[in-house]
Amino acid sequence: MKSLFTILAVALSLFAMSTACSPSKGSEKTAAEEATTTTLDTAQYKKQGMEIAMGTFKVLSGQLKAAMQEGGVKNAAQYCNTVAYPLVDSLSGQYNAQIRRASNKVRNPKDAPTPREQEILDAYHAQAEAGEQPKPQVRQLASGEIAFYAPIMMQDLCLKCHGKLGETLKAEDYAVIQELYPEDNAIGYEAGDLRGIWSITFPAPN
Ligand code: HEC
């Protein structure tokens, strides 16, 4: 039987992968709507948040890799553009949670951070700059909903579509991406960089 530690370690290492091209739905809570509570079982929500990230990873990364093997980065970028959104949407329904990603440098404008996501992003970036590893966290919103956040880190594989132009990101591949996302801002990353956050919202507990 796997120890809890092993499971958590695997969960964390899968975070970055699971983000390959999943999309998101908007939510407009502000920081002022947030509240903390002493009774909230944060460990339980962290576990659930990780499970959702892992589940999303399995579905998305498997298909992303297959698309890359089949037709290279160009094919995979098109896959991300058309298939990822409905897939993650159906997972949001399956998990009864709103699954979202946000970043300071977005490819899909729908992933632009809400005010409270911006706060988390700012804190995570400050931690990363200080050489610390940002950690998953859980907050209860004033609405009663529970928000789970976790960092999304860059890996070598990601650089083919998010790396430095003319270096890790080929100009011909980026031309395809720019056709799909004329406003794209999600490039220039190196492996190990903080790319953005998971933002998963659970309904208010009964
Ligand atoms: C084959 C190209 C490709 C690869 C490889 C790739 N991505 Fe992406 N990524 C995209 C596309 C296309 C989108 C926009 C998806 C959409 O429209 O919802 C995206 C969106 C994202 C987003 C959402 C924020 C935004 O900018 O819209 C994150 C976070 C992200 N990618 C992280 C990663 C990480 C981490 C990896 C490596 C594990 C990775 N990506 C690998 C193409 C790629």
Task: Give the tens place of pLDDT for each residue, 119-141.
Answer: 999 999 999 999 999 999 999 99
Indicate which atom in ligand 1 lies nearest the CA of residue 17.
38
Residue 2 pLDDT greater than 80, yes or no: no
Q: Could you tell me which residue, 5 or 133, shows the higher pLDDT?
A: 133
Indicate which atom in ligand 1 lies nearest the CA of residue 154.
35
Query: Which residue from 21, 101, 194 has its CB within 8 A of the most atoms of ligand 1, so it is best to mutate?
Result: 21
Residue 87 pLDDT greater than 90, yes or no: no
Q: Give the pLDDT score at 107.
A: 93
Residues near 22 by beta carbon (within 8 Å), at least 6 away in sequence: 56, 60, 84, 85, 87, 88, 99, 101
Residues near 190 by beta carbon (within 8 Å), at least 6 away in sequence: 154, 159, 163, 164, 168
Give the mean pLDDT of 18-29: 46
Residue 38 pLDDT greater than 80, yes or no: no
Task: Please tell me whether residue 169 adopts helix, strand or coil conformation.
Answer: strand
Give the mean pLDDT of 38-60: 83
Q: What is the longest distance spanned by two Cα atoms in the chain?
A: 53
Q: Give the pLDDT score at 172.
A: 92
Residues 156-187: pLDDT tens digits?
Answer: 988 999 999 999 999 999 999 999 999 999 99
Residue 46 pLDDT greater than 50, yes or no: yes
Query: Which residue from 161, 176, 193 has its CB within 8 A of the most atoms of ligand 1, so it is best to mutate?
Result: 161
H/E stretch holding 173: helix 171-180
Residues 104-117: pLDDT tens digits?
Answer: 999 999 899 999 99
Q: Could you tell me which residue, 60 or 44, shows the higher pLDDT?
A: 44
Q: Is the dihedral of CA 162, 167, 168, 173 positive or negative?
A: positive
Mean pLDDT of the chain: 82
Residues near 9 by beta carbon (within 8 Å), at least 6 away in sequence: none
Indicate which atom in ligand 1 lies nearest the CA of residue 108.
27
Whole-prediction pTM: 0.83
**What gap in Å lies between CA 67 and CA 18, rounded to an integer?**
15
Query: Atom 37, ligand 1: which residue's CA is nearest?
Result: 158
Residues with CB under 6 Å of ligand 1 are 16-17, 19-21, 23, 73, 76-77, 80-81, 84-85, 101, 103, 106-108, 111, 152, 154-155, 157-158, 160-162, 186, 195-196
Q: Give the pLDDT score at 205.
A: 87
Residue 28 pLDDT greater than 50, yes or no: no
Percentage with pLDDT > 90 across the chain: 50
